Amino acid sequence: MTRRIVLRKLSTVARNKYLYLAVAWAIVGAAVLALDYGLKLEWFAIRVRGIVLSFGWLIWVMAGLNYQVHRMVQRQLRLTDEEIREYAGRLEDATPDILALVGRGVPAAQVADRILADRGIPRLVTLKYLIALGDARKRTRNDRNESSESRS
């Protein structure tokens, strides 16, 4: 049970890696800015024509860039409307095969290769569909947990 919880948490961290990096960079940037401007230590600052420029601002830019990458990755992991229109029927027909392969512990890349060979659905579309199936499974599991907690 504990192993399953740890694996689920690690999966969440891996999926949101850039979000966590953005938060970490923002915290470090705030600390550097506080040292440079708040305490006037200027350990992480340079002077340009009498103006103190802190590296904390660069760290904040790094945090913003990591957050932007996170948003782009999240957007690209979802099936687009065009992909849904084009492959919905074939994905629906392939769902039992996909679930059977995943149930046997076949890695996602091999599942995508098999579906490409059998059904002609591109690997990327199959991988996005696997992510959507996993998200749906998590939502139903969370709904069940919430409903069982409200009953107790």
* Last residue in a domain, options 46, 76, 106: 76
Give me the DSSP letters along 13-49: HHHTHHHHHHHHHHHHHHHHHIIIIIS---TTEEEET
Mean pLDDT of 101-110: 89
Mean pLDDT of 122-151: 81
Side-chain half-sphere of 34: how many Cα atoms within 13 Å?
6
| CA–CA separation, 65 and 77 (whole Å) | 18
Per-residue pLDDT tens over the stretch 73-92: 888 888 889 998 999 999 99
* pTM for the predicted model, two decimal places: 0.59
CA-to-CA dists, residue 18 to 23, 25, 104, 122, 127, angstroms: 9, 10, 31, 27, 20
In this prediction, what percent of the chain has a pLDDT beyond 70?
84
Based on the fold, state whether residues 123 and 103 are members of the same structural domain.
yes
Based on the fold, state whether residues 47 and 8 are members of the same structural domain.
yes
Q: Domain range spanning residue 20? A: 2-76
Where would I find the beta strands (DSSP E) of the chain? 45-48, 51-54
Per-residue pLDDT tens over the stretch 2-59: 555 555 555 566 678 899 999 999 999 999 999 888 888 878 888 888 887 889 999 9
pLDDT at 121: 93
- Residue 140 tokens, joined: 């139903």
Q: Mean pLDDT across the chain, nearest whole number?
A: 85
Per-residue pLDDT tens over the stretch 107-122: 888 999 999 999 999 9
* Last residue in a domain, options 76, 95, 128: 76
Based on the fold, state whether residues 121 and 57 are members of the same structural domain.
no
Based on the fold, state whether residues 88 and 69 are members of the same structural domain.
no
| CA–CA separation, 71 and 65 (whole Å) | 10
Based on the fold, state whether residues 28 and 47 are members of the same structural domain.
yes
